[in-house]
Amino acid sequence: MRKKFFIYGFLLFLIVFAIYLKTDRGFLLVIIIPILLVIGIYNALQEKHAILRNFPVLGYFRYLFEMIAPEIQQYFIERSTDGRPFSRNQRSLVYQRAKNIDSSTPFGTQQNLNHDSYEGIKHSIFPAKVNEELPRVLVGGKDCKQPYLASLFNVSAMSFGSLSENAVRAINIGAKKGNFYQNTGEGGLTEFHLAGGGDITWQIGTGYFGCRDAEGNFSPEKFSEKANLPNVKMIEIKLSQGAKPGHGGVLPAAKNTEQIAKIRGVEPHTMILSPPGHHAFADIKGLIHFIAQLRQLSNGKPIGFKLCIGNTAEFEAICHEMIAEDIYPDFITIDGAEGGTGAAPLEFADGVGMPFEPALIFVNKTLVGLNIRDKIRIIGSGKIISGYSILHAIALGADMCNSARGFMFSLGCIQALRCHNNECPTGVATQNKMLMKGLVVTDKSDRVYHFHKNTLHSANELLAAAGKNSFADVDINIFMRGDEFGHLSDSYFPDILTNVTKK
């Protein structure tokens, strides 16, 4: 291929040059072809990229197409019900609710309902009255001195660093307007989280950003300073997150700007990998005592921890230790393995941890079985972006729900899958100041507010359709599954008919 490139390239140049000398036309080509030849010679001689070595100029098209593959997929190939992690229909729903415009769907469902995996609500012929008030849940157990009346639906952990400054500010203003909380993520509590006056759940990860000493260890003094700020309503210890359980946080070098490095107390422009485990405690007893320590340092604010379930015996052991020590977290956040992230190793995203539904069922059952369910609120996160998914999570055992990517969509995220390389085209998940300018804080904070309000209203409507007055009355029995119909239909066909069709 290389040989052909040079032979045809030189021939083409000679022909174009001859035409130019004779007719005075083709000056541009006389300039461009030698440039391409020089690039071609360089590529043919370099030893890093096999494609460019073999196809010295055409090879660039591969890189170009690879770069715009997500856009081609999304704009030209994807159907409304396709698209991962979120389908076009799901994304559109969030956009419409965020813009506060009609989100109804025409003509009927596009889903195949006659399938084992179908799940639907068993509506009642006596629907309840739709509650116009948005549901709230009180968080705070027996040792909590400052219980928090939280919205049932809140913004899941996303750090400043993975999100842009404008995104963090827009969420915070939206949270203030809608009276719900924003979880800071493990990147620390920053001025942008405090600027809008919205409620905050401050997350403490293994990097202890914002509450670490010079050696990177947990600093009780620094923690206490921030934990006692009035905006901070709850504190969450991050044990793991669904997209990369067992792996620490990842801040790619491209997003580790001077500003972020200063906030986190790290070297700028380097990849920051938080350790997979905590230094502040080394075992289950240590975790329980850490909860008590944070509660004391924060003067009794609700303290909880977040994890993706892996080894179930470990979770059971934590619960037994809570009972033995008589120390309980005020809440536990369960993140499904299908959860999102700014950046994660593919193996961890695809192959570690328990998905949301079984994890939630397991945690709820374990707490009920040990008779401690009433002491702890369960918060669920994992692709919760609609009224239906909220009700579903509540039915499986959650008291409250968090959403990360739902709120990203409300900010204008188009699922470009560029959170990790600082090139997010909508300014949501980038530190590039130019791109960030695209995200206008005042406009997007309104969208955050509307998305929250309209989604919870939809959950209220579904609750009423199921004939229930309160989310506390919801359990798994309000849902039906496709495989139930499978068994039903079996019983409608007598054996004799089955035999006939077999022949």
Ligand X SMILES: Cc1cc2nc3c(=O)[nH]c(=O)nc-3n(C[C@H](O)[C@H](O)[C@H](O)COP(=O)(O)O)c2cc1C
Binding site for ligand X (CB under 6 A): 156-159, 162, 185-187, 203, 238, 241-242, 249, 306, 335, 339-342, 381-384, 403-406, 419, 429
First-last CA distance in the chain: 59
Q: In this structure, are residues 181 and 233 in contact, taking their beta carbons and an 8 Å threshold?
A: yes
Q: How far apart are CA 149 and CA 172, in angstroms?
A: 17
Q: Taking the complex as a whole, how short is the minimal distance between the CB of residue 161 and ligand X, in angstroms?
A: 8
Instruction: Report the amino acid identity of residue 48.
Output: K
Q: What are phi and psi of 488, to 5 degrees?
A: -60, -50
Q: Taking the complex as a whole, how short is the minimal distance between the CB of residue 382 and ligand X, in angstroms?
A: 5
Q: In this structure, are residues 422 and 255 in contact, taking their beta carbons and an 8 Å threshold?
A: yes
Q: How far apart are CA 82 and CA 134, in angstroms?
A: 31
Q: Taking the complex as a whole, how short is the minimal distance between the CB of residue 3 and ligand X, in angstroms?
A: 48
Q: What are phi and psi of 151, to 5 degrees?
A: -65, 155
Q: Where on the phi/psi map is residue 371: left (φ > 0), alpha (ψ -120 to 50), or beta?
A: left
Q: Taking the complex as a whole, how short is the minimal distance between the CB of residue 181 and ligand X, in angstroms?
A: 13
Strand 479-481 to strand 119-121: parallel, antiparallel, or no bridges (unpaired)? antiparallel
Q: How far apart are CA 402 and CA 331, in angstroms?
A: 13
Cβ closest to ligand X, residue 168 vs residue 395: 168
Place of tokens 């905050």: 200
Q: How far apart are CA 223 and CA 388, in angstroms?
A: 38
Cβ closest to ligand X, residue 162 vs residue 231: 162
Q: In this structure, are residues 306 and 234 in contact, taking their beta carbons and an 8 Å threshold?
A: no
Cβ closest to ligand X, residue 171 vs residue 395: 171
CA pseudo-torsion sign 248, 252, 256, 260? negative
Q: Taking the complex as a whole, how short is the minimal distance between the CB of residue 447 and ligand X, in angstroms?
A: 16
Cβ closest to ligand X, residue 16 vs residue 404: 404
Nearest Cα neighbor of 98 from 442, 458, 446 is 446
Cβ closest to ligand X, residue 33 vs residue 152: 152
Burial 211-244 (b: 16+ CB within 10 A, else e): bbeeebebbeeebeebbeeebbbbbbbbbbbbbb
Cβ closest to ligand X, residue 186 vs residue 199: 186
Cβ closest to ligand X, residue 339 vs residue 427: 339
Q: How far apart are CA 378 and CA 364, in angstroms?
A: 8
Cβ closest to ligand X, residue 55 vs residue 362: 362
Q: Taking the complex as a whole, how short is the minimal distance between the CB of residue 411 and ligand X, in angstroms?
A: 11
Cβ closest to ligand X, residue 403 vs residue 426: 403
Q: Taking the complex as a whole, how short is the minimal distance between the CB of residue 304 and ligand X, in angstroms?
A: 12
Q: Taking the complex as a whole, how short is the minimal distance between the CB of residue 413 and ligand X, in angstroms?
A: 9
Q: Taking the complex as a whole, how short is the minimal distance between the CB of residue 255 and ligand X, in angstroms?
A: 10
Q: Taking the complex as a whole, how short is the minimal distance between the CB of residue 336 and ligand X, in angstroms?
A: 7
Cβ closest to ligand X, residue 16 vs residue 237: 237
Q: Which residue is nearest to ligand X (CB)?
A: 185
